Amino acid sequence: MTVVPQPPYPLHESIRDRLHPEYVAFYNQFIINQQQVHYQPVTASRTSGILIPGGGPVVDVGKVEDISVKRSETEGPDIPVRVFTPPGERPENGWPVCLYFHGGGWVLGNINTENTVCSNVCLRGKCVVVTVDYRLAPEYPFPAAVHDCWEALLWLVSSATASALSIDTSKLLVAGSSAGGNLAAVMTHKALALSQGDSESHRPIRIVKQVLVVPVMDNTATVANNWSWREFEHTAALPAAKMMWYRNHYLPIETDRANPEASPLLYDDDDNWSKLAPAVIIVGELDVLRGEGETYAEKLQRAGVPVDLHLMQGMPHPFLAMDSVLQAGKTAITLFCEAALSAFY
C-alpha cells in the first residue's frame, strides 16, 4: 500500500536556498499546508478552489464574450472560448488577435484560470485575446486538447469570425503557459504545415509571433535524460513526480509521448523550422521544464528564427500566475504585453 505524504510540505533542501525570497515567504505562509494535487484525486484538485494562489485581479477591458465554437475537422462537443476585446475604436483593418491556451498540465484549469493574463494582454497589448477551454485528461487524453485548440484556431482565422470579432487575422499571435505553451507551439507547427500544403478547405494561417511561458516541450524528458529534471527533481510547485502525474493522465499510451504533437521539441529538423514564427520564451531558473524550454529556443535559433529568451531568476514553475505577490509574475506579463505590441504595431 502506497503511503501518501500529508501536509505540511516544507521546501526541499536541494532547492530551498536557491528560491527567490519573495516566493519562499509566500510559500511558507500560504502553500506549505495545502494538499498537493498529485497526492489527491483529480476531482478534488478541480474543486479545491484557485489553481495557483497569488494571482492579481482581472483588469477591465472593452468587452468580454463567451462563444461556443463548432468543429470542422474532428469529432466532439462544441469548444467554449472567451473573447476579450479592448476598449476604444478598433484599428482600420480590425484588432490584432492573440489565441491563448491556459496551463494546468492538460488535467487542471479552465476558461477562468488565466483571465488575469488574458485581460492584461488585451488592454496593454491592444489586441483581441481569445482563450480556449479545451478538454482535459484523464477523461479526454491526448490528442483531445490538440484537436480542440486546432479547431479553435481554424475557427478564429475564418472570414466569418474575423468579421464578427472585428479582427485582423494577418496579425495573429499564438501563446500559452505550461501545457498551454506546449499547445501553442504545436499550433504554430500545424499552422505552418497547413500553409505549405495543398489544403482547399482552409486558407493559409500566418502566425506572426509565438509567446511560450514555462512550456512543456518534451514529454519524453525524465530525471535520467534531462539535466533540469535531474537538478530540479524536488523543486517547488512542479517537482518531477508531479509532472509525471500530469503526463500519465494526458499521455497514458507511452508511445504517444514522442509524437511531435505531444512533444514539439521532437518535430523533425526538416519540418521547416526556419519558417516558424519568431518566439518569446520565458522560463523559470528552478523549473523542471527549464531545460526543454531552453533547448526549444536553441533549436529555433539554429534555424534562424528570432528568439527572445528570458530566464526568471530564483523562480519555480508558476510565477506567471502569481503576479500579485511575485515581481517575476508582473515582469512576465509585461514581457507578454510588449511582445504583442511589437508584433502588431
pLDDT tens string 9-32: 999 999 999 999 999 999 999 999
DSSP state, 255? G
Name the grid cell of 239: 517537482
- Note the pLDDT of residue 200: 60
Task: Return all residues near 219 (Cβ < 8 A) that are at least 6 apart.
Answer: 247, 251, 257, 258, 262, 263
- Note the pLDDT of residue 201: 60
CATH code of the domain made up of 21-344: 3.40.50.1820
* Torsion over CA: 304, 306, 312, 318 (sign): negative
Answer whether 0.95 is exceeded by the pTM: yes
Average pLDDT rounded to a whole number, residues 57-81: 97
* Whether 78 is catalytic: no
- With a cut of 80, say whether residue 308 has pLDDT above it: yes
Task: For residue 209, give the 3-state DSSP assignment.
Answer: strand
State how far the Cα of 72 lies from the Cα of 262, in Å rounded to an integer: 22
- With a cut of 90, say whether residue 269 has pLDDT above it: no
Annotated catalytic residue within 189, 249, 317, 323 = 317
Name the grid cell of 86: 479592448
Name the grid cell of 140: 479526454
- Note the pLDDT of residue 169: 96
* Whether 20 is catalytic: no
State how far the Cα of 337 lies from the Cα of 295, in Å rounded to an integer: 24
Burial label for 145, CB within 10 Å (0-12, 13-18, 19+), is buried
Annotated catalytic residue within 168, 218, 287, 323 = 287
* Whether 287 is catalytic: yes
Mean pLDDT (the chain) is: 95
Annotated catalytic residue within 119, 178, 228, 263 = 178
Average pLDDT rounded to a whole number, residues 142-156: 98
Average pLDDT rounded to a whole number, residues 178-189: 98
Domain borders along the chain are 21-344
Report which of 6, 10, 3, 7 is spatially closest to residue 234, judged by C-alpha positions.
10
- With a cut of 90, say whether residue 212 has pLDDT above it: yes
- With a cut of 90, say whether residue 217 has pLDDT above it: yes
CA 324 to the chain's CA centroid: 19
Task: For residue 223, give the 3-state DSSP assignment.
Answer: coil
Report which of 306, 313, 318 is spatially closest to residue 237, judged by C-alpha positions.
318
